[in-house]
């Protein structure tokens, strides 16, 4: 049964792989047998070292994903260095917070460009290659705000709603061409990005009381979901947004 989750011989691009959820996804994919192209502005040296310790190949691909300028190079460099491309995980993202009445165009554009525009064009560049080879798995990282509105994060909510919509659109276009496009919507995950929330005693308690599982998620919880969606076990899953949230949306 474990062979259905085996990623041996596969090559995965993971954006934002230097820390947090991106790092956990890269390490989970590597533990399942995949080689990793760790893409981002900050070199993912620690991630690459841990992938090597798992006996898998890994390459750092430096790219500022605030614009689409490096997108095609990321795909080309991955194939050049690692020989192929089978999996794309669009994890890199940013967030800006302010009341909607005060939100600036600069903050709107920065978040939309990184979280939605670059996500689409990376899907496009990887998708062209995957369609040509007749197979591939794309996993976009959405959010609970793909389902809910949130507060004080208008561009983030718009971008993550858009990521969920694009996931479905691309699945409609590419499912019959051998490419699976799905997304993961993480809930409250204990990472550096949520350290302030975890440290706020009142907010931390409120969050945990709302989560049926009664705890924050671990980054590895997202890694396991990514392995599933990247594996043969998910061959008949297309256009799905998988909430990994401890039951948050069910409450």
Inside any domain, residue 237 = yes
Per residue in 134-153, pLDDT (tens digit) is 999 999 999 999 999 999 99
CATH number for the domain spanning 170: value is 3.40.50.720
Tell me the backbone φ, ψ of residue 115, rounded to 5 degrees.
-80, -25
Per residue in 202-243, pLDDT (tens digit) is 989 999 999 999 999 999 999 999 999 999 999 999 999 999
Mapped onto helix, strand or coil, the DSSP state of residue 220 is helix
33 within 8 A of 56, measured Cβ to Cβ: yes
Inside any domain, residue 248 = no
Number of folded domains in the chain?
A: 1
156 catalytic per annotation: yes
Residue 128: pLDDT over 70: yes
| 75-83 contacts at long range (C-beta below 8 A, 24 or more positions apart) | 75/13, 75/122, 75/125, 75/126, 75/129, 77/37, 78/11, 78/13, 78/37, 78/39, 79/129, 81/37, 82/11, 82/35, 82/37, 82/57, 83/11
Inside any domain, residue 10 = yes
Mean pLDDT of 6-19: 97
- List, as one string, the DSSP characters of 10-53: -EEEEETTTSHHHHHHHHHHHHTT-EEEEEESS--HHHHHHHHH
pLDDT for residue 87: 99
Inside any domain, residue 249 = no
Instruction: Exactly one of 120, 156, 174, 228 is catalytic; name it.
Output: 156
pLDDT for residue 51: 98
Using CA atoms, how far apart are residues 87 and 90, in angstroms rounded to an integer? Answer: 10
Inside any domain, residue 9 = yes
Q: Which of 108, 101, 104 is nearest to 159 (CA)?
A: 108
Which residues form the domain of 102? 2-243
Tell me the backbone φ, ψ of residue 93, rounded to 5 degrees.
-165, 160
Using CA atoms, how far apart are residues 239 and 245, in angstroms rounded to an integer? Answer: 19
Beta-carbon count within 10 A of 88 CB: 31
Per residue in 21-70, pLDDT (tens digit) is 999 999 999 999 999 999 999 999 999 999 999 999 999 999 999 999 99
pLDDT for residue 242: 98
pLDDT for residue 91: 98
Inside any domain, residue 251 = no
Sheet architecture: strand order including 87-90: 58-62, 35-40, 11-15, 87-90, 136-141, 179-186, 241-244
Residue 103: pLDDT over 70: yes
Using CA atoms, how far apart are residues 58 and 48, in angstroms rounded to an integer? Answer: 6
pTM of the model: 0.97
């Amino acid at each position: 049964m474990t062979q259905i989750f085996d990623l041996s011989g596969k090559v995965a691009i993971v954006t934002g792989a230097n820390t947090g959820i991106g790092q956990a996804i890269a390490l989970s994919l590597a533990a399942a047998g995949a080689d990793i192209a760790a893409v981002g502005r900050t070199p993912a040296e620690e991630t690459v070292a841990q992938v090597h310790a798992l006996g898998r190949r890994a390459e750092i691909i430096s790219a500022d994903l605030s614009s689409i300028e490096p997108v095609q190079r990321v795909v080309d460099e991955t194939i050049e260095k690692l020989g192929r491309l089978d999996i794309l995980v669009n994890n890199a993202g940013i967030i800006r917070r302010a009341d909607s009445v005060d939100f600036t165009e600069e903050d709107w554009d920065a978040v939309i460009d990184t979280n939605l525009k670059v996500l689409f064009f990376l899907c496009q560049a990887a998708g062209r290659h995957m369609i040509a080879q007749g197979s591939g798995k794309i996993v976009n990282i959405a959010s609970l705000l793909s389902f809910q509105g949130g507060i004080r994060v208008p561009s983030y909510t718009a971008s993550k709603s858009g990521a969920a919509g694009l996931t479905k659109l691309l699945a409609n276009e590419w499912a019959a061409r051998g490419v699976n496009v799905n997304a993961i919507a993480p809930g409250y995950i204990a990472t550096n990005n949520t350290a302030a929330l975890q440290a706020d005693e009142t907010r931390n308690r409120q969050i945990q009381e709302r989560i049926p599982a009664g705890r924050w998620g671990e980054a590895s919880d997202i890694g396991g979901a990514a392995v599933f969606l990247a594996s043969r076990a998910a061959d008949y899953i297309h256009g799905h947004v998988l909430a990994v949230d401890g039951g948050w949306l069910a409450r």
